[in-house]
Structure 1
Amino acid sequence: MMDKIHDLLCVPLKQIIDERGAVYQYLKSTGDTFRGFGEAYYSKVNTNVVKGWKFHKEIHQHFCVPFGRIKLIAYDCRIDSPSYGAIQEIIIDDRENYQMISMRPEIWYSFQALSEPFALLANIINKPHDPAESLNLPLDNKEIPYVWK
């Protein structure tokens, strides 16, 4: 399956749901997208709030939404990439489109919570977070050709 942005993978995940609750699979060390473990964290995003733009120089990310619904926008600024200049919009949620987004370094991204009262984005990264390793841009900028509405 070819995704719009080269090296950005959308991997369907399994849910085991019964009357007692549910188990949501996420990431396995034996999976093709696993790049090592550095840190895991959650980002709570209130309804309609947009976070981003963010860019990692070295960190490989694995996004998943265990609660709620998020729209993720990715922008490929890598000049040597076959998808240079591409923008990809992905909906991730805990019900209809439960998946992991595996994103290599050097791709800009931003996301918005579409669910009420919030959405929870999980992220497993291959290195411990280092603020000097990432870049940020305001939502309204001249670098990324996407306008949040």
Structure 2
Amino acid sequence: MGIVGVCCRPLKIIDTPGGPVLHMLRPDSPLRPYAGTADGQLHLGEVYFSEVLPGAVKAWKRHSRQTQYYAVPRGLLKLVLYDARPHSPTRSVLLELLLGRPDHYGLLRIPTGVWYGFTAATDEPALICNCADLPHDPQEGEHLPADTDQIPYHWK
């Protein structure tokens, strides 16, 4: 079972002699930020990269206004999402997935209110590209420790 609002779409990798070209977002992408706005244009708050070292766990976080759009161009990431939204039809659903290369390159949308955390899935670092729909606001996000009892997941 999935989580309402979470979507993952495969992304195109184009092999070229000097190295691959990795797609992430286009104005015509069905997952683009603000896809339902009146102007229909691609609206971005910020784009940043985050490296996840092997053995490190970055968890838990959720946003009240910001939607995350993740792609992992290098390495493999294990992501865990948990729906604690009070009125969601998928409340209490836990979702574990892999994102990255070579076999799981895609764009993941994490909607507001969904808890998420991640770790490198192999002995190599993973590099996340986050294309958020709003600029970073430290007051907007909420954090829990990785070993919280509020989320039914134990990082291995």
Separation (CA, whole Å) in 2 of partners of 1:81 and 1:117: 36
Where do 5+ consecutive residues of structure 1 fail to align? none
Aligned residues, how many? 147
Structure 2 residue aligned with 1:14: 12
Q: Are residue 124 (structure 1) and residue 131 (structure 2) matched?
A: yes
The answer as to whether partners of 1:54 and 1:108 remain within 8 angstroms in 2 is yes
Q: Which of 96, 107, 120 does residue 113 from structure 1 map onto? A: 120
TM norm structure 2: 0.90
Offset of residue 52 of structure 1: 1.3
Encode CA deviations 1:77-111: one digit per residue, 9 max, x unaligned: 11211111000001011211111101111100000
Paired residue secondary structure (1:21): coil
Separation (CA, whole Å) in 2 of partners of 1:148 and 1:117: 18
Separation (CA, whole Å) in 1 of partners of 2:55 and 2:105: 20
TM norm structure 1: 0.94
Q: Are residue 26 (structure 1) and residue 45 (structure 2) matched?
A: no
Structure 2 residue aligned with 1:57: 64
Where do 5+ consecutive residues of structure 2 fail to align? 34-42
Structure 2 residue aligned with 1:44: 51
Paired residue secondary structure (1:97): coil
Offset of residue 16 of structure 1: 0.1
The answer as to whether partners of 1:68 and 1:116 remain within 8 angstroms in 2 is no
Paired residue secondary structure (1:131): coil
Offset of residue 137 of structure 1: 0.3
What amino acid sits opposite 2:90 in the alignment?
S
Structure 1 runs, 4 residues or longer, greater than 4 Å off: none
Structure 2 residue aligned with 1:70: 77
Structure 2 residue aligned with 1:97: 104
Separation (CA, whole Å) in 1 of partners of 2:135 and 2:7: 22
